[in-house]
Amino acid sequence: MERRALRVNGFVVLGLWVLVAIAIGVAAGVTQSPVAAIVAVVVGVILVLTATGFVIINPNEAKVVQFFGRYVGSVSDAGFQWVVPLSTKRRISLRVRNFETAKLKVNDADGNPVEIAAVVVYKVTDTGKAAFAVDDYELYVAIQSEAAVRHLATTHPYDSHDNERTSLRDGAEVASELTIELRERTETAGVEVIEARITHLAYAPEIAQAMLVRQQASQVVAARSRIVEGAVGMVGMALDKLAEQGVVELDEERKASMVSNLLVVLCGDRATQPVVNTGTLYA
């Protein structure tokens, strides 16, 4: 939708404007005729109208030009420019902007209430759409960002207990998905989303304590499973080494007793205290 408006270097037009004004003034003063005076007045009015086309454009800024309601184009060349006279110029910033959503309370894919917020980095790439496709492109981006964050939270769990599922805590994957969705949502407004990332993620206060206990239990179970797996491997390696080197021959009962003792030592959560067998005392 965006197109380039007619523009001329402002200093060139200003120089011609001054030369014409001087020439008309000199001609009117020399001739001293009513016709020359009328011509001077008409040219003066034209010059005044022409002066309405001067505009100053800052870096990373564009001006959307409308001529009596008709969109004639946009100018983004920084400096002193001249465009169509009697036109209105609406300023559109082309700078990169940050927008952070409020902390939203939504239910994740497992139905658990969570608090989530995100930061969106964007910039305007089509000034025509930004000016005329939506009422306020900044408000549009804000509303669409909150809608995208809500949708993201409802389609993923806070914690994934399945490797095939993406959780909200998988930062890179979630950020990529959120960025793609926001780009599709904001394309109508002529906005390009550069990046979107989750800045806040937590369980809602009413279930935070219960979920913390659940997470701790899950970690304990995972740690115990790893310990048991390692202990079994170490016991098997010990039996194999004893048999290979012929240090001692153990029958099945003694092997079972040794395995039991080693597992107690390796899997126990407290330091072991050895018991020394000194034999039987007789009174």
Condensed to tens digits (0 to 9), the pLDDT of residues 240-271 reads 776 776 666 666 666 677 667 666 666 666 55
Residues 6+ away with beta carbon under 8 Å from 7: 75, 77, 81, 82, 83
Instruction: Name the one residue in this structure whose structure tokens are 């806040």.
Output: 200
Contact 261, 229 (CB under 8 A): no
Greater pLDDT, 183 or 50: 183
Predicted pLDDT of residue 210:
61
Residue 72, pLDDT above cutoff 60: yes
pLDDT exceeds cutoff 90 at 120: yes
Look at domain 97-203 and name its CATH class: alpha beta
Closest-CA residue to 90 (of 124, 51, 46, 121): 124
C-alpha–C-alpha distance, residues 125 and 136, integer Å = 15
pLDDT in tens, 7-34: 888 888 888 878 877 777 666 666 666 7
Question: Would the pLDDT of 139 be above 80?
Answer: yes
| Nearest by Cα to 2 from 59, 76, 83 | 76
* pTM score over 0.85: no
Question: Which of 168-172, 175-179, 248-252 shows the lowest mean pLDDT across its residues?
Answer: 248-252
Give pLDDT tens digits for 208-238.
Answer: 566 666 666 666 666 667 777 777 777 777 7
- Token look-up 């797996």 returns 229
Please tell me the predicted confidence (pLDDT) of residue 217: 63
